[in-house]
Amino acid sequence: MACFAATLGVIILLGFINLTAADKDSCDLYAVVGQSLTLPFVYEKLTNSHVLRWTHNSTIIVYREQGKLSFGKSEDISATGSLLLKNLQLSSAGAYEAKLLSPNGTLVKAWTGRLCMMDKVSKPQLTYMCDYKYSAVNLMCHVAKPQGWMFSWTLNEKTLTSETRPTLSISLAQLKGEMSFTCGVANKVSKEKSDTVRPTCEGPPPPPTICFKSKAVVAVLAGGAGLILFLLVIIIALCRCHIRHKTQMRRRDDGEMRMLSLSKRVPDSTSPEYETLHPNEDSPTPRPDSSPGVCYENVSQPEAQTENRPTLLSTEAAGQVSPVPKPRTKSPQTPNV
């Protein structure tokens, strides 16, 4: 039970702190640096017999009693008791409190309020850009430090109530004739307006030109020339290797053809003269051309050749050239008469 009570007390305390912080952060009055402001405290029946006290963040800044000022200046107090603040600075922000007391010390009237200082808005700059990819024109309202500021747009001096962003997009189809645009920026203490802009988007812009420095161009050209020369050397070397290989293949093919032709000639190496000098028995006997006045002896059988062979050998031994043997011819058989 005690634990629950402690927890509940902490929750209530945190809620009170949050409410106090919210009240502290809320502003009743807004002002710009360098501006003058009169705090709204009015009491029409104010007399010198009353006691008037003004405090800023619990510090007394004005105290008047019996018509005499102990703090502050008489020109800063109006006839109704209002306080005039001149040349406000950032340090002027905070809580202000006014109390009016009767001569016997009773409270007649009181007022409290919080003053917040803000920067004055600067004049915005309106620019536009033609977007041919999406067929639109984009308008941009540029302003320095747009912290919580409100934007407004006007088209042909008519306010576009639905546009409160710092950018505005209009399709090119809607951009007909001369259309004027302005943008405005405002906060709680000041507002500014840009100059009028009339966007024109006639056609797509030309392609961007690429510019290179002379040193970069020379370096690129030198690198390209070196690369081309290197490729030419490689191509020439490959061509020479290919030609050399092709020549070797041609020579090898020629050698193989030559060897093949020689191998085909080996079986036919026996000449006709050799066949004439050493005829076979089975081969047909050639018939010599018959000419007048030439007679051939009848060579009968192989026995006759055998008988004549010693004589030929003896003749050769004697150094005489042996006559060339004549081909055997079959003599025509004559009928016996």
Instruction: Kindly report the length of the chain.
Output: 337
CATH code reported for the domain at 24-118: 2.60.40.10
**Core vs surface per residue 72-110: b (16+ CB within 10 A) or e:** beeebbeeebbbebeebeeebbeebbbbbbeeeeeeebe
Q: Do domains 24-118 and 125-193 have the same CATH topology?
A: yes
CATH fold label, 125-193? Immunoglobulin-like (2.60.40)
pLDDT beneath 50, residues of the chain? 1-24, 269-279, 281, 283, 285-286, 288-321, 332, 334-337
Task: Say which residues have a Cβ less than 8 Å from residue 150's Cβ, sequence separation at least 6.
Answer: 164, 185, 186, 187
pLDDT tens track for 81-103 = 999 999 999 899 999 999 999 98
β-bridge mates for residue 97, sequence order: 55, 112
Two tokens at 59?
Answer: 């510090």
Two tokens at 74?
Answer: 């008489």
Question: Of 145, 153, 156, whose CA–CA distance to 169 is shortest?
Answer: 153
State how beta strands 94-101 and 51-56 pair.
antiparallel
What pLDDT shows up at residue 249?
86
CA separation for the pair 111, 94 (Å, rounded): 14
Q: Is 209 left (phi over 0), alpha (psi -120 to 50) or beta?
A: beta
CA separation for the pair 51, 77 (Å, rounded): 13
CA within 13 Å, CB half, 302: 3
Strand order in the sheet with 51-56: 29-32, 107-118, 94-101, 51-56, 59-65, 68-71
The full 3-state SS of 88-116, as one line of letters, equals CCHHHCEEEEEEEECCCCCEEEEEEEEEE
CA separation for the pair 146, 192 (Å, rounded): 12
Q: Where are the domains of the chain?
A: 24-118, 125-193
> Do the Cβ atoms of 170 and 137 come closer than 8 Å?
yes
- Measure Cα distances from 321 to 113, 272, 305, 312, 317 in Å: 163, 21, 18, 9, 9
In terms of pTM, does the model score above 0.95?
Answer: no
pLDDT tens track for 263-319 = 766 555 444 444 444 445 454 544 544 444 443 444 344 443 444 444 443 444 444
